[in-house]
Copies of this chain bind each other. A is one copy, B any other.
Amino acid sequence: MEKEISDPTLTVSGQRGPASHERRIQIIKSAHEHFLQYGYKKTSVADLAKAIGVSSAYIYRFFESKQAIGEAICSVVLGKFVVALHELASSDMSASNRLRKLYITLLDMSLEMFFNERKLHDITIAAVEERWCTTTQYHQTKYEVITKIIQDGRASGEFERKTPLDEVVMAIVETLYPFSHPILLQHPILLEQSEPEVLHQRAIAVSNLVLRSLAP
C-alpha cells in the first residue's frame, strides 16, 4: 500500500540566484534574527539591508521582495513539519498508532515553535493570510499523510471501509486544527489559558474519538 508522497522540499517563490550562495544564506539568517527581534511586519527590506550591512539592491539580487525572504524562513520552519509528517507516514507503527502520534507530533512541534520562536508568529500569520506557497504545500502533505495512514489501516483491517475516504480525511484534517493551526495555537492568550498538559489531554481525547470512529 505504498503511496507516492510529495517531495518534502518546499518550493518557495521570489528567490533569485543560486540557492546555496553563501551571501544568500547569510541574508536569511540575519533576516531571521532581525524578524525574531523586531517582528516581520515592522521590518522593511531597507531596515534589513542596514542591519546586515549591505545595500537594498544587494538583497534584491537574491530575493524579489520581503515576502520572498519570509517565505525562505517559513519554508525552513514548515520544512521540519513536512519531514516529521513523512517520517510518521512511513514508520513501522500500526495505522492506529501513527494516527494517534500524528496529533501529539503536530502539537509538540507547534508548541516548540511557539515557545522558541514566538516572534515568528507574524511571519506565520502573514504566510496564512497571503497564502504563500509553502503553507499550501504543508497542507497538501498533511492531506497526503492522513490519506496514506487511513488507506494502510483499511488494508490491514484496522479501520472500517464504508465511509468515503475523502470524507474521512477531510474530517480528520479539521480535528487537527485546534492542535496545529498557527492562528489558533499561537494566539498568545489561548496558550496561556491552556497549559501544554491540558492541550495534550485534549489531543489524546480527540485522537481517541477519531480512532473510535474508524473502528470496523
Mark A residues whose CB is within 8 Å of B.
Answer: 128-131, 160, 163, 167-168, 170-172, 174-175, 177-178, 181, 183-184, 187, 189-190, 193, 201-202, 205-206, 208-210, 212-214
Contacts and interface: CB of A to CB of B under 8 A. Distances in A.
Contact of A202 (B170, B209, B214): B170
Nearest to A212: B213
Contact of A174 (B130, B131, B167, B175): B175
Contacts of A214: 212
A173 to B, nearest CB: 8
Contacts of A209: 168, 171-172, 175, 210, 213
Contact of A208 (B167, B183, B212): B167
Nearest to A179: B174
A208 B184 CA distance: 24
Given A183-B183, A184-B184, A208 B163 contact: yes
Nearest to A198: B170
